A and B are shown apart, each in its own frame.
Chain A
Amino acid sequence: MVTQHSLPRRIGFLLLVLAIVAFSIFPFIQMLSISLKYPSEWGSPSLVPKNFNIEAYKELLNIGQAAKNVPESVRILLEETPDLTEEQRQTILKKYTSTGDVFPFLKYFYNSFLLSFTAAFITVIFAILGAYAFSRLRFPGRSLIQRGVLFVYMFGGILLLIPLYKMFVGIGWISIPPGAFMSLLIIYIVQTLPVSLYMLGNYFRTIPFSIEEAAMIEGASRFGTVWRIIIPLSFAAIVTVFIYCFMIAWNEYLFASVFLKNFKDLYTLPMGLKALFTSKNAIWDRIMAASVLTATPVIVLFMAIQRNLAGGLASGGVKE
């Protein structure tokens, strides 16, 4: 639609674009702004802080927190009693530097990362095998399975939550931390596997079979062609699927809240942030700083794979 527009229309159009962009990213700017503001400025609608306050980030990332929590009196006491051994000093200090009331952001970050990364990795392996079979091999039951996979689009998490909870309680995994962690890992794999199969299957079909044939004539086995040809050729698509799975697990709250409820040490970021918000530590700058730090890795990952992901989304292979 290339048509000649007059100047006022052109400006109006650009303003429209600007409005759409503002609508999309305003909440992000808002949270960045608040995370850097001092409490006295929260009520001001200006988005640029007068004075920058990076205390919230320091606290979340545990930078320079050790000395801060020790009360003045204790510090003086320690300085004025030289006959304490180094060990005794450390024990006294430890009492105050424990992260008891501070938000253990890094731990939650680590938990989320470990869970999401492992789940995405395992899903991708199963999905590569399954998708290859779908797209290349002819065997009875293939189309039935393929359609069954799409059927899973219909089920929301809440429908699976109660039976899965009962099942994992039944085998006794819920009551111990490693069990709860494993249950959640398995659930994330299950939740992302169908769509990954579908996306990768669609992609593999676009790779010409003749390349594989050539390899097989040279003596490569089926697994050999998958490893040496399919995986390298579809690497971008595989990374995309991996990140898609990673993001699903990174964002998940429903199952985590039920399975990890009793294990504070295993909380994922969504659970931790929700807990932070409802706790006495609920202070806007910390919450916003935590939000920024949670969103950043996902947005960075996304920027890295943007082109592929946009294509993947458009071909209809995404479940929420």
Chain B
Amino acid sequence: MKLTQILTREGWDLKQREILLGWTMVLPAVLIILSLILYPIVYNVYLSFFDVQPLADNTYIGLENHKNVVLDPGFWNALVTTVIYVVFTTLGTTLMGLFVALVMNQKFPLRGLVRSLILFPYIAPVISVVFAWQFIFDPVNGIFMDITYEKLGLFSSRFNLIGSPSTAVWVAVIFSIWKNFPFSYLMILSRLQAIDHNLYEAAEMDGASGWQKFRFITLPEVYFVMGAIVLLRMIWNFNKFEEIYLLTENVRVLSVYTYFKAFVGTMELGQGASLAVIQFLLLIGFILFYVKRVLKW
């Protein structure tokens, strides 16, 4: 029977038809999400208890995967790197976003053009900008070494900043701030534009300084949106893969570490699944802590 026939069938009242129609319209989306997001997540938990081969059957090994993961120092290194990365990128992106939003909220010539130019980092494909950044830090040709070594003499020799994990993580942090600050800036700017001008005028009458206006009017108004940005950035940057892996394979945050475990070399898919579960639990813990303690919701 055709859908239109069902929908116009006699004896059904308007409400029942609306329910049926509603479900018909969301059903494709719901089915896709259920079968390809929720089911895989459950399946992932299941896989983490098995020795998983790409092409053979799985064998149940209990908590073996989790044990192997936790006993591997690589995991703990990855965890520390992830925390450094998440904390500094989140702070940097949010503060930079706030700063740029305050600047862009002023009037100046060519403001429209400037506002769209500074969105470029956010919209450009990751793959198209990583090489430019690699070039900037390239030991032979890059402008970073040219300025710090040739012109300023800060270092005793040219070296590859992206080459070693301990310095590469900072390049990854700066790259992430550069790439994502426009998002925070946009969100904060739209909040700034909604602030009532009378508040500032009243404050000026009372002789408030620029800093006081910022501290007692602007900041409370944007506090909430900044809280939301920090939360989103933490979630996204915790799971970040492309922006790090494509820039440098040396920065082993958890997602990159998991990728290497599961898909490079011996393909430890079971351990990879277990890592993904652990990463997810850590993220949930992280968020609960943040929401309870920092946002005090």
Chain A interface residues toward B at CB < 8 A: 1-3, 13-14, 16-17, 20-21, 23-25, 27-28, 30-31, 34, 42-43, 45, 126-127, 129-130, 132-134, 137-142, 145, 148-149, 152-167, 169, 186-187, 189-190, 193-194, 197, 221-222, 247, 250-254, 257-258, 269-270, 273-274, 277, 284, 287-288, 291-292, 294-295, 298-299, 302-303, 306, 310, 313-314, 316, 318-320
Given A145-B26, A158-B241, A159-B279, the answer on whether A294 and B141 have CB atoms closer than 8 Å is no
Q: Which chain B residues border A247 with CB–CB below 8 Å?
A: 123, 125
Q: Which of A152, A162, A288 is close to B135, meaning CB atoms less than 8 Å apart? A: A288
Q: Which of B7, B125, B147, B279 is close to A45, meaning CB atoms less than 8 Å apart? A: B147
Chain B interface residues toward A at CB < 8 A: 4, 7, 15, 18-19, 21-23, 25-26, 28-30, 32-33, 36-37, 39-41, 43-44, 47, 52, 54-55, 100, 103, 105-108, 114, 116-121, 123-129, 131-133, 135-136, 140-141, 143, 146-147, 178, 182-183, 186-187, 189-190, 197, 200, 204, 213, 228, 232, 235-236, 238-242, 245-246, 255, 258-259, 262-263, 269, 272-273, 276, 279-280, 283-284, 287
Distance in Å: Cβ of B139 to nearest Cβ of chain A? 11
Q: Do A160 and B37 touch across chains, with their CB atoms under 8 A apart?
A: yes
Q: Do A313 and B276 touch across chains, with their CB atoms under 8 A apart?
A: no
Q: From A46, which residue of chain B is reached at the shortest CB distance?
A: B143
Given A27-B133, A43-B140, the answer on whether A137 and B22 have CB atoms closer than 8 Å is yes
Given A20-B103, A163-B41, the answer on whether A295 and B129 have CB atoms closer than 8 Å is yes
Q: Which chain A residues border B15 with CB–CB below 8 Å?
A: 138
Q: Is the interface of B mostly helix, strand, loop or mixed?
A: helix
Q: Do A316 and B187 touch across chains, with their CB atoms under 8 A apart?
A: yes
Q: Do B105 and A126 touch across chains, with their CB atoms under 8 A apart?
A: no
- State in angstroms the CA–CA spacing of A231 and B284 once bound together: 38
Q: Do B135 and A156 touch across chains, with their CB atoms under 8 A apart?
A: no
Q: Do B36 and A1 touch across chains, with their CB atoms under 8 A apart?
A: no
Q: Do B127 and A24 touch across chains, with their CB atoms under 8 A apart?
A: no
Given A156-B239, A158-B258, A158-B276, the answer on whether A167 and B40 have CB atoms closer than 8 Å is yes
Distance in Å: Cβ of B238 to nearest Cβ of chain A? 7
Q: Do B129 and A162 touch across chains, with their CB atoms under 8 A apart?
A: no
Return 12 A-B CB contacts under 8 Å, by A number.
Answer: A130-B26, A130-B28, A137-B19, A156-B255, A157-B239, A166-B43, A166-B47, A190-B32, A193-B32, A222-B21, A274-B127, A295-B125
